[in-house]
Amino acid sequence: MPEKLSFRDRLAQGVMLADGAMGTLLHARGASIDTPFDALNIDNPALIRDVHRAYLEAGAELIETNTFGANRYKLGEYGQADQVTIINRAGVELARQTIDFLSKTCCYIAGSVGPLGVRLAPFGRVSVEQARAAFHEQIEALVAAGVDVVLLETFSDRHELAEAFRAAREVSDTIPIIAQVTFTRDDRTLLGDTPTQVAEALAELGVDVIGVNCANGPVQVTRVLDAMQTAAPQVYFSALPNAGWPEYVGGRVMYPAGPDYFADFAVSMRNRGVRLVGGCCGTTPEHIAAMRTALDNTEYVSVQPDRQVAAEAIEEVIERAAPSELAQKLAEGTFVISVEMSPPKGLATEKIIQAAHMLREAGADAINVTDSPMARMRMSPWAVCHLLQSQGRIETVLHFPTRGRNLLRVQGDLLAAHALGVRNLFVVMGDPTRVGDYPDAADNYDIVPSGLVELINHNLNEGKDWAGNSIGQPTNFLVGCALNLAAPDLDREIKTLQKKLKGGADFLITQPIFEIDLYHRFVERYEELHGPLNIPILVGVMPLASLRHATFLHNEVPGIVIPTSIISRIEAAGDDARALGVELAQELGSRLRSVAKGMYLMPQFGRYDLIAEIIEGIKEDNCRRAVVG
C-alpha cells in the first residue's frame, strides 16, 4: 500500500481531483433546506457518510467536510451557536470514517470554511476582530480534529477572506490553506474586485492554493482563472465550478452542465497547470466519476481552446451630473433651512405641494421627505421628492433607510431617485417594522448607514455599482447622516460619527435640541478628540405644541432632552403653549445662525403654517441684526 504524501507534496506531483456538491446531494436525499446542513453531522451522520462514500467511490482524492456554514453566526440563526466545536469535529470524523471504511488511505480531508453570513465593517456591524474570532473558533476545531488542509471557499469579500486566512494562521502556522473566491457574471466579486486584484492579494498573503468555486460554470471559471494565473504565476490554483447556471424546472432546481462537459473541463484545467479540480453546486458523483476517467486517460484531448488572458474592460469616462443647489449652498457657507415632510398615506398630494409652495416662499431651502416614518405605510418618498421638485419648485432631501432593503433594491432605488433629479440623501437605519402598521413585514437589511454612505460616495458617485460594474454616468449625490447631540455617551456617538465621515458623509442632521449648549458641548468634545469638525451641521429644531407634547418627547423619544426650564415655561403658558413653542424655536434658530451651517425644522401635527412663521421670524430677526450691525 503506497505511503500517503503530505498535501503539499501531493500537489507538487500534479492535478488532484476533489469531490462535488454537498448541499445538492443532501437536499436530493431528503434533507430539508429549512435546517442547517452542518447540523446533520450530529443529527444524521449516516447521510453524510453516504455522500462522502459516493464521491470517494467516484474517484475523488480530496473530500470536503460538511462544515461550510458551521460558524457561530450561521449556526446562531438556528439557536446552535454553542455547537461550533462539536459540529466541526464531527464533520472531520465522518470524513475520516468513510475514508477508513473504503481503505482510501491516500485520500485527503479538507476542512470546509465558508463566509460568516454577516457583513463586516464598514458595510456591516461585525468588526474584523469579531470575524477573526469566529473563524478562529471554527478552524481550531477542524485542525484539532485532523484535517489535511483548510479550505476557505465561496468568499465574495476578499477582506473577509483575509481575516479567515489570518485566523487559520493563528491556529496553525503549518496547515496548508486553499482560498477560493466566487465571482458574479461580470467576472468581479460582489465588492467589485477583479480576478487580478484577488489573485495578487491572496498571493501576497501566502496561501498555498488560490482558486475559484461556485460562480456560473466552467466557462466563466476558465476565463477568471486565466486572468488570475497571469497575475500570480508562482502560486498553485484550484477550480471547482457550479454545473452551469441553475434554472427552475417543474419546481426543482436543475443544473445544465453534464458529466461529459465536466470531464473535458477537468482535462483543460490540467493543461493550464491547475492543481485541484472538482465541482460545486449541481455537481454529483457522476460528474466526478467522468472527471476521474478523463484525467486517467492519457490520450484524452480537450476541446477547450488554449489559455487566453481575459482583457480588462476599458470604460469610457462620462461627465457626472451638476451638484445640487443644496450642495452649492453648503459649499458657499450659506445658512440653509430644511423642513421635514412626511409623504401622504394615500394618493392625494395637493396638500404637500401647497405646503411646499408656502415653505419656499417663506424662505426654506429644501424639504426633507421621510420614508415610512414609525414604520407606517406611506407613498414612496422618492416619488414625493420628484413631485415637490417638479410642481412645488423646491429642492428635496430624500430620507433613505437601509432597513428593509437588500443590496439590489438599495442600488436600484438610488439610481431611480437620481434619474428623477433627486440629488440629496439623508441616510438612516430606519424604524423597525415591529413598531408600525405591519409588524410581521420583512425587516432585514444588507448594509448599515455608514456602509451605505461609503457605497454611494466610493461606488455610485464614481460611476460603478457595488460589484464594480459600470453604471455609465456617475451619480452626484450629496449624502447626509444622523447625529445625536444629546447622546448620553458622547464619545460613543463621536466614534460612530467618525465611521460616517470616513465613508464620505457630506453633511449632518441632528435630533431636535432645545438649548444651544448641547451643540457647543458636542462640538467642543469632538474637537478635543479629533480637532475641527469640518462638516456642515443642520441642527434639528422642533416647535413644542403643548405641555403634553413636551413631556412625551422628553420622556419617551430617545435622543430628545428638553430642559426643565423650558417645560416649566410651556406649562405656565397654558393655552398659549403653541405660540410660545413657535417663539422658542425662532429664538433658537436665530442663535444657531452664528454657529451652525443650517437648521432642520420638524413640524408637528402637519402645522406647516407654523414652520413658515418660524422661518419668516428668523429671516426678519437676521435682517434686524444686519441693520443694527
pLDDT, tens digit (0-9, with 9 covering 90-100), for 3-14: 899 999 999 999
Enter the C-alpha cell of residue 262.
465536466
Residue 436 pLDDT greater than 60, yes or no: no
pLDDT tens digits, 135-165: 999 999 999 999 999 999 999 999 999 999 9
How far is residue 297's CA from residue 485's CA, in Å, rounded to a whole number? 72
How far is residue 603's CA from residue 352's CA, in Å, rounded to a whole number? 13
pLDDT tens digits, 174-221: 999 999 999 987 788 877 789 999 999 999 999 999 999 987 789 889
Residue 318 pLDDT greater than 80, yes or no: no
Enter the C-alpha cell of residue 115.
463566509
How far is residue 376's CA from residue 120's CA, in Å, rounded to a whole number? 30
How far is residue 372's CA from residue 363's CA, in Å, rounded to a whole number? 26
Q: How confident is the model at residue 437 (pLDDT cuts 50, 70, 90)?
A: very low
Residue 383 pLDDT greater than 70, yes or no: yes
Share of the chain above pLDDT 90, in %: 65
How far is residue 169's CA from residue 215's CA, in Å, rounded to a whole number? 27
Q: Which of 22-31, 39-48, 314-323 has the lowest mean pLDDT?
A: 314-323
- Please name the amino acid found at residue 112: S
In three-state secondary structure terms, 601 is strand
Q: How confident is the model at residue 245 (pLDDT cuts 50, 70, 90)?
A: confident
The pLDDT score that the predictor gives to residue 606 is 84
Q: Which of 218-227, 258-267, 374-383, 492-501 has the lowest mean pLDDT?
A: 374-383
The pLDDT score that the predictor gives to residue 313 is 36
Burial class (CB in 10 A: 0-12, 13-18, 19+), 236: buried
pTM, two decimals, is 0.61
Phi, psi of 180 (to 5 degrees): -115, 135
pLDDT tens digits, 338-378: 999 988 888 888 889 999 999 999 999 999 999 865 546 67
DSSP state letters, 489-544:
-HHHHHHHHHHHHHHT--EEEEEE-SSTHHHHHHHHHHHHHHS---S-EEEEE---
Q: How confident is the model at residue 311 (pLDDT cuts 50, 70, 90)?
A: very low
Nearest by Cα to 502 from 5, 57, 122, 118: 122
> Which has more confidence, 227 or 449?
227
Q: What's the sign of the alpha-carbon dihedral 183, 188, 194, 196?
A: positive
Residue 32 pLDDT greater than 90, yes or no: no
- Asked whether the beta carbons of 341 and 367 are under 8 A apart, the reply is yes
SS (H, E, C) 83-101: HHHHHHHHHHHHHHHHHHH
Residue 553 host element (H or E): helix 547-556
In three-state secondary structure terms, 385 is helix
Enter the C-alpha cell of residue 456.
454611494
The pLDDT score that the predictor gives to residue 627 is 46
Residue 415 pLDDT greater than 70, yes or no: yes
The pLDDT score that the predictor gives to residue 579 is 94
Enter the C-alpha cell of residue 143.
485542525
pLDDT tens digits, 43-93: 999 999 999 999 999 999 999 999 999 999 999 999 999 999 999 999 999
Enter the C-alpha cell of residue 31.
434533507
pLDDT tens digits, 488-512: 899 999 999 998 999 899 999 999 9
Taking the chain, what is the end-to-end CA distance rounded to the nearest angstrom?
A: 100
- Mean predicted confidence (pLDDT) in 520-549: 94
For residue 75, the number of C-alpha atoms closer than 13 Å in the C-beta half-sphere is 25
Residue 451 pLDDT greater than 50, yes or no: yes
Q: Which of 33-37, 313-317, 548-552 has the lowest mean pLDDT?
A: 313-317
The pLDDT score that the predictor gives to residue 448 is 80
How far is residue 441's CA from residue 563's CA, in Å, rounded to a whole number? 37
How far is residue 163's CA from residue 135's CA, in Å, rounded to a whole number? 8
Residue 310 pLDDT greater than 50, yes or no: no
Local structure of residue 324 (DSSP, 8 states): P
Cis peptide before 122 (omega within 30 of 0): yes
How far is residue 86's CA from residue 89's CA, in Å, rounded to a whole number? 5
Residue 425 pLDDT greater than 90, yes or no: yes
b/e burial code for range 124-151 (CB count within 10 A of at least 16 → b): bebeeebbbebbbbbbbbbbebebbbbb
For the chain, what is the mean pLDDT?
Answer: 88
Burial class (CB in 10 A: 0-12, 13-18, 19+), 480: buried
Q: Which domains occur in the chain, in start order?
A: 7-296 (3.20.20.330), 334-541+597-615 (3.20.20.220)
The pLDDT score that the predictor gives to residue 312 is 39
Return all residues near 526 (Cβ < 8 A) that are at least 6 apart. Answer: 494, 497, 533
Residue 129 pLDDT greater than 80, yes or no: yes
Local structure of residue 462 (DSSP, 8 states): G
For residue 268, the number of C-alpha atoms closer than 13 Å in the C-beta half-sphere is 21
Most confident by average pLDDT, 85-94, 331-340, 585-594: 85-94
Q: How confident is the model at residue 251 (pLDDT cuts 50, 70, 90)?
A: low
DSSP state letters, 3-70:
PPPPHHHHHHHS-EEB---SHHHHHHTT--TTS-GGGHHHH-HHHHHHHHHHHHHHT-SEEE-S-TT-
